[in-house]
Amino acid sequence: MTDIIASTEQAPVDPHAPLLEIIDLDVSFRAANGTETPAVRGANLTVYPGQTVAIVGESGSGKSTTAHAIINLLPGTGRVTGGQILFQGRDLTTLPAKQFEDIRGDAIGLVPQDPMSNLNPVWKIGHQVSEALRANGRAKGAEAKRQAAQLLTEAGLGDAERRLKQYPHEFSGGMRQRTLIAIGLAARPKLLIADEPTSALDVTVQRQILDHLEELTAELGTAVLLITHDLGLAAERAEHLVVMYKGQVVESGPARRILTDPHHPYTRRLVASAPSLVARRSDTAAARAEVVERAEQAADAAVVADGGATPAGGARSTGEDVLAIENLTKVYKIRGAGRNAGEFKAVDDVSFSVRRGTTTAVVGESGSGKSTLAQMVLRLQEPTEGRVLFDGADVTTFDRKAQFKFRRRVQPIFQNPYGSLDPTYSIYRTIEEPLRLHNVGDKRSREATVRDLLDRVSLPASVMRRYPNELSGGQRQRIAIARALALRPEVVVCDEAVSALDVLVQAQILDLLSELQADLGLTYLFITHDLAVVRQIADQVCVMQSGKLVEVADTDTVFESPQQEYTQALLNAIPGATLSTSVVDAGSRPAGE
Amino acid sequence: MSESALRAEQTHFRADQAHYVADLEETPLATTDQVDESAAPGGLWLEAWRTLRKRPLFIVSSLIILFLIVVALFPDLFASQDPRHCVLSNSLGGSTSGHPFGFDLQGCDIYSRVVHGARASVSVGVLTTSLVVLIGGAIGAVAGFFGGMLDSVLARITDIFFSIPLLLASITCMQAFPDKTVTVVALVIAAFGWPQVARIMRGSVISVRSAEYVTAATALGASRTKVLLRHVLPNAIPPVIVIATVSLGAFIALEATLSFLGIGLNPATTVSWGGDINTAQNVLRSNPSVLLYPAAALSITVLSFIMLGDAVREALDPKSRKR
Amino acid sequence: MRWYVGRRVLQMIPVFFGATLLVYALVFLLPGDPIAALSGQRQLPPGIEAQLRHQYHLDQSFIVQYLIYLKGIVTGDFGTSYSGRPVSEVMAQAFPVTIRLALLALLFEAVFGIGAGLIAGLRRGGFFDATLLVASLIVIAVPIFVIGFVVQIVFGVKLGWINPTVGPEANWSELVVPALVLGSISFAYVLRLTRDSVSENLSADWVRTATAKGLSRRKVVTTHVLRNSLIPVVTFLGADLGALMGGAIITEGIFNIPGVGHALYQAIIRGEGPTVVSIVTVLVIIYIITSLLVDLLYAVLDPRIRYV
């Protein structure tokens, strides 16, 4: 570790007195028409010097609001309506705005959530880092520049001198996050608030950055208040956990205790659903095998029932491999500025096959090519080389008519529930669209089909006349599933279909997908970056890195005895991976829902 | 187990960080992800409408516009006097009963001319805007959606027309037509006024076409045309609506400017505010009110359209939409 | 950066040719015989008429005429107007006046528009903001000639503070009030643009990060809000110069300013083809150049654009 800029001497901190005490905090937001909505109610939490405390919760739990309230950074419409925030004995809720400038940066630092939008795009990195030093009176002019370079190095950014002169858009996500960490720690605060500091990053990068942050704060003696939605991550990094739900603290205590002995029903739900923890359970394999068997039976039955023909009129084989990828390659030409122009291989010679009625997961980090692969299977992009065999036929040679029929048999579900439904279409129209496009049935039968589909995804029929903007993310994803099933496809390509959902909702959707697979004999191609989710739902796993297929094997093999280093690195990077199995298993005993 | 957790084990137990569980009564659990049945259903447009109808800006401007349309369609309901009945002896007379605004230089009743002048302005505005939206919208949509060479060519054409100031081009073009009817004026203005709408439509289409629901529609089997017409256009339209509303006002002002310069609507055949302002120039110093009445009518008209455009823009602003 | 500049210049070339061609076509291809317009109601003896036609190349094909005209632009020979004066002389007299007028208007709209917009954006929803919004709406809505007349009547005639019309000299001080009128509508746009931009940037994530660093409110605004907010405003101002010159025609008419707009208007009414074409062409060229400069300026202000 390069030598750390020593923190200037301030009043010595008493290790036995709490650094931060939040007592009965209430925070409300005022809407345009004047009504006040409480976002946080009666929250209590304590942080001791040098300690790491994690606040865990889903969206809407109030965890970020609490964190922002501490340094008076609530958006204009929010304010503290009750309770106290004691920092080293001073009540911050009664502090005049001017004095907060002294506290911020100096005493309490912030590492915000989204690295893209939290750095000003028009100023150089060096300027933005040294600004933090100047603002807190740590250094000026050339000295500030020198220290800024050191801060960047300490945060893990190599070649710091050159980096100072670059702009945020020239950095990768991980580099920007490190910059934000450097800024947050620049003035050596006593407390660092880290708001979901790594949610937007790849798993391996996440682990590196969090490890680094842990080392740094340990050396500096900084207390950390970590905000996260990931229970596994929280338990791994913090000594003390605070679980929030709908603005209230429902449970808190030592991290191990919360995992092994959760009391509150919400905590129990979280522990039961968190993929990184669930993935360790031994009963997953058995449950999975059962689903696969039922699915295979249903798939075979469907083939027989149709007399060997698909609804689209093509011949349906009883062969095992419904999908076969052979030497698939995709090369992009980059139009760049002189030097940068060239080729980019998004997918490089990938081959694998998928058995009917099973789930194959394609796992990779950003830039691995997994999404491009999915797009080629869906015929949304043309491969440069190689072929995709669907039911034995090479789809890359299909003409327009054949492709149209093909679309009925392979359907996608996309990642962003807020983007995959047309906001001007009612729910009814959204689900009906595929039926209309392919001229299935008449108006009345289509309505019946829509109702049936909504029932399958456990949504009330009344939802038909609503619009996407009235539904939550999980509900919209169900609609997307219903739409995908409308044409009774054989293969469903889930492109990060659950990645944007809260943990509990994610668990629900995964259960739904499993159920549907068992009932309808569906085959899934499941694209995801989350290896933990994979264990719950996949039979076969393909690991991709930089366009190449690194490893392909059945789930158990990949998880228990991975062949490749990269796969092992991915497994190690799962948040919660370092928690001992006994801790995880203990907490997951079915304690009743 | 992580280092920090180990440390936690070793440090002495802190009482205020002991295992705490909230009272179940105070923290009840809801079913995960339940549908809210209580709210009234409504999509984008309905939401926008509901926001819109409460805003004073919208209410005032749309009332004025509705009134204007009525006046334009049925001027005789409001003014019994023939606007072309001009008696020289009344020249520059003040207001008397039945002639609230007085008389202009030719002895024509100003009030009646103001009322009848509405039709010219409103028709030019509506016709021009329709043309501009059709032409500009089509070009912009095609350029934005299909991209590539087509986009480059269309974008250059748009640039070319855009680089010639609208006023100058209109003035020049108007010279060519001896018979200056409403249709002619509308065509002339539209011929050079479409680039702005084209640019906005193009930008809007470009940002919409990369949405996931567009990809989803393609994956369902929709052809490109269907995707453009059924998904892209309906979602790309809001900014175009805003610019169309504001442009309507601008086109009315432009028509008045042309008439003011003497090359707009033929004053012998059509009563127009711009034309009246033109003739009122000569008596500006002595009788400013002769100019100010039609000027006021013109200003209020343009103002109401711009206010409407503002209100619509706020209602359709994606940032304020519920998510 | 060089690529970006090069591409923009390359894109402007077809626009230049297209625009000049369009202008030329507008004036000459439209129905109406320039010679007839020139001679008015008089019948010219046939010999004279043929001579005039030849002199103005009217007996040659459109393309040839266009090429001759292009050559003229490049060499600075704008031909002779039908009344005998060289067009370049007309322009040399008129352009400086209009340029002074337009620059004054630009200065006015930039300084006041940005200043007021900044305050309104920072205190959004306040009294100042609401007043400015209403005022700007009114200014945009009232047609420029109405504003011009009102100003002329009130300040020139009734109050006598200024000269109702501008003399042939048209020096800077005389042009102040007309410049205010000319720039009034653009001023309103600049104000609203600045206000919206500032207000939007105030709620940007990086502003929150900057505040979290411990920066004073003042520093946060001047460093992190100002520069970001000015980007769209500056580009608008750059594009506006061309628009101002084109729109000067009204203001010059009202205040009797001997500028380009005035000359152009006279030429159009009299059907003076060469003059009209030349003046509009120069205006178009000015627009193209300022457009290019604005794009470059944008790249300077916003580093993200430089590598696109």
- Note the pTM of the prediction, 2 decimals: 0.86
Cα(C151)–Cα(C166) distance, rounded to whole angstroms? 14
- Contact assignment for C214 to A132 by CB distance below 8 Å: yes
Cα(B173)–Cα(B191) distance, rounded to whole angstroms? 10
Residues of C in contact with A71 (CB under 8 A): 212
pLDDT value for B165: 83
Question: What's at A212, amino acid-wise?
Answer: H
pLDDT-derived band at A137, boundaries 50, 70, 90: confident
Backbone angles phi and psi of A250, in degrees to 5: -95, -25
pLDDT value for A200: 79
Residues of C in contact with B168 (CB under 8 A): 246, 249, 264, 280, 283
Confirm or reject contact between A117 and chain C (CB < 8 A).
yes
Q: Which chains touch B (3 or more CB pairs under 8 A)?
A: A, C
Instruction: Between A103 and B94, name the one with better pLDDT.
Output: A103
pLDDT beyond 80 at C32: no
- Residue from C181, C171, C173, C151 nearest C247 by CA: C181
pLDDT value for B97: 73
Across A11-37, average pLDDT: 85
pLDDT beyond 90 at A181: yes
Q: Are the beta carbons of A363 and A542 closer than 8 angstroms?
A: yes
How far B172 CA sits from the closest chain C CA (Å)?
A: 7
Backbone angles phi and psi of A239, in degrees to 5: -90, -30
Which stretch of DSSP H or E encloses residue A497? none
DSSP assignment of C174-212: HHHHHHHHHHHHHHHHHHHHHHHHHHHHHT-HHHHHHHH
Cα(B124)–Cα(A232) distance, rounded to whole angstroms? 67
Q: Which two tokens stand for residue C75?
A: 């060499």
Instruction: Return the minimum-mean-pLDDT range out of B14-28, B188-202, C135-149, C212-226.
Output: B14-28
Across A514-518, average pLDDT: 90
pLDDT beyond 90 at A243: yes
Confirm or reject contact between A268 and chain B (CB < 8 A).
no
pLDDT value for A53: 95
pLDDT beyond 50 at A441: yes
Q: Which two tokens stand for residue C223?
A: 């460093």
pLDDT-derived band at C277, boundaries 50, 70, 90: confident
pLDDT beyond 50 at A591: no
pLDDT value for A427: 93
Q: Are the beta carbons of A388 and A324 closer than 8 angstroms?
A: yes
Q: Cα angle at B183 between B182 and B186, to 5 degrees?
A: 85
How far B136 CA sits from the closest chain A CA (Å)?
A: 23
How far C183 CA sits from the closest chain A CA (Å)?
A: 30
Across A162-184, average pLDDT: 91
Instruction: Between A485 and C42, name the one with better pLDDT.
Output: A485
pLDDT value for A336: 59
Instruction: Return the minimum-mean-pLDDT range out of A453-467, B7-21, C27-41.
Output: C27-41
Confirm or reject contact between C293 and chain B (CB < 8 A).
no
Reported as a single tens digit per residue, the pLDDT across A314-347 is 555 555 788 889 999 999 887 655 555 678 889 9
Backbone angles phi and psi of C295, in degrees to 5: -60, -40
Residues of C in contact with A65 (CB under 8 A): none
Reported as a single tens digit per residue, the pLDDT across A374-431 is 999 999 999 999 999 988 888 888 888 888 988 989 999 998 888 899 999 999 999 9
* Other beta carbons less than 10 A from residue A307's beta carbon: 8
Cα(B207)–Cα(B232) distance, rounded to whole angstroms? 10
Across C26-37, average pLDDT: 61
How far C223 CA sits from the closest chain B CA (Å)?
A: 25
- Contact assignment for B302 to C243 by CB distance below 8 Å: no
pLDDT value for A593: 35
Q: Which two tokens stand for residue C40?
A: 């008015």
Q: Are the beta carbons of B312 and B242 closer than 8 angstroms?
A: yes
pLDDT over 90 percentage in chain B: 37
Cα(B300)–Cα(B280) distance, rounded to whole angstroms? 19
- Residue from C136, C43, C87, C140 nearest C278 by CA: C87
Reported as a single tens digit per residue, the pLDDT across C81-119 is 666 677 778 888 888 888 888 989 999 999 999 999 998
pLDDT beyond 70 at C42: no
- Residue from A493, A487, A544, A201 nearest A368 by CA: A544
Say what angle helices A173-185 and A203-220 make with each other, to 10 degrees: 10
Q: Which long-range contacts (CB under 8 A, 24 or more apart) does A264-270 make?
A: A264/B21, A264/B22, A264/B24, A264/B27, A265/A593, A265/B24, A265/B29, A266/B27, A266/B29, A267/A243, A268/A591, A268/A592, A268/A593, A269/A504, A269/A593, A269/B29, A269/B32, A270/A56, A270/A231, A270/A243, A270/A503, A270/A504
Who among A101, A187, A337 is closest to C3 (CB)?
A337
Cα(A477)–Cα(A459) distance, rounded to whole angstroms? 11
Reported as a single tens digit per residue, the pLDDT across A282-317 is 556 677 778 878 887 887 777 676 655 554 555 555
Q: Which two tokens stand for residue C229?
A: 């907010």
Q: Are the beta carbons of B253 and B298 closer than 8 angstroms?
A: yes
- Token pair 């065509």 in the structure block, residue: B187
pLDDT value for C161: 72
pLDDT value for C176: 86
Cα(A74)–Cα(A27) distance, rounded to whole angstroms? 9
Residues of B in contact with C22 (CB under 8 A): 160-161, 164
pLDDT beyond 50 at A56: yes
pLDDT value for B198: 95
Cα(C295)–Cα(A123) distance, rounded to whole angstroms? 19
- Token pair 């995959």 in the structure block, residue: A420
pLDDT value for B318: 61
Across C162-191, average pLDDT: 82
Instruction: Between B294 and C157, name the one with better pLDDT.
Output: B294
Under DSSP, is residue A549 helix (H, G, I), strand (E, B) or coil? strand
pLDDT-derived band at C36, boundaries 50, 70, 90: low
C-alpha distances (whole Å) from C65 to each of A115, B169, C24, C25, C60 are 60, 20, 9, 10, 6
Question: What's at B223, amino acid-wise?
Answer: S
pLDDT value for A305: 66
- Residue from A300, A489, A320 nearest A391 by CA: A320
Could you say which DSSP state residue C152 is in?
I
- Contact assignment for A120 to C206 by CB distance below 8 Å: yes
C-alpha distances (whole Å) from C210 to each of A70, A79, A113, C205 are 16, 20, 14, 9
Question: What's at A176, amino acid-wise?
Answer: R
Asked whether the ipTM of the predicted complex exceeds the cut of 0.90, the reply is no
Question: What's at C113, amino acid-wise?
Answer: G
Write down the mean pLDDT value for chain C. Answer: 81
Question: What's at B243, amino acid-wise?
Answer: I
Cα(C152)–Cα(A448) distance, rounded to whole angstroms? 72
Q: Between chain A and chain C, how many beta carbons pairs sit less than 8 Å apart?
A: 83
Residues of C in contact with B303 (CB under 8 A): 137-138, 141-142
Per-residue pLDDT of chain B (323 residues; tens, 9 = 90+): 455 555 555 455 577 778 888 887 777 777 777 777 666 777 778 888 888 888 888 999 999 999 999 999 988 888 877 877 787 776 777 777 777 788 887 788 888 888 988 998 999 999 999 999 999 999 999 999 998 899 999 999 998 998 888 888 888 788 777 778 889 899 999 999 999 999 999 999 999 998 999 999 999 989 999 999 999 999 999 999 999 999 999 999 999 888 888 888 887 788 888 888 888 887 877 777 888 888 899 999 999 999 999 888 888 876 544 33
- Contact assignment for A121 to C303 by CB distance below 8 Å: yes
Residues of B in contact with C153 (CB under 8 A): 284-285, 288
- Residue from A463, A569, A590, A507 nearest A205 by CA: A569
Determine how β-strand A240-245 pairs with β-strand A248-254. Answer: antiparallel
- Token pair 């103002």 in the structure block, residue: B303
* Other beta carbons less than 10 A from residue C83's beta carbon: 11
Across A462-478, average pLDDT: 89
Q: Are the beta carbons of A41 and A61 closer than 8 angstroms?
A: no
- Token pair 């009134």 in the structure block, residue: B67
How far A402 CA sits from the closest chain B CA (Å)?
A: 11
Cα(B201)–Cα(B178) distance, rounded to whole angstroms? 34
Q: Give the sign of the dihedral formed by CA C260, CA C261, CA C262, CA C264.
A: positive
DSSP assignment of A272-294: HH-HHHHTT-THHHHHHHHHHHH
Confirm or reject contact between A475 and chain B (CB < 8 A).
yes
Confirm or reject contact between A503 and chain B (CB < 8 A).
no
pLDDT beyond 90 at C59: no
Across A425-442, average pLDDT: 92
Confirm or reject contact between C200 and chain A (CB < 8 A).
no
Determine how β-strand A342-355 pairs with β-strand A20-30. Answer: unpaired
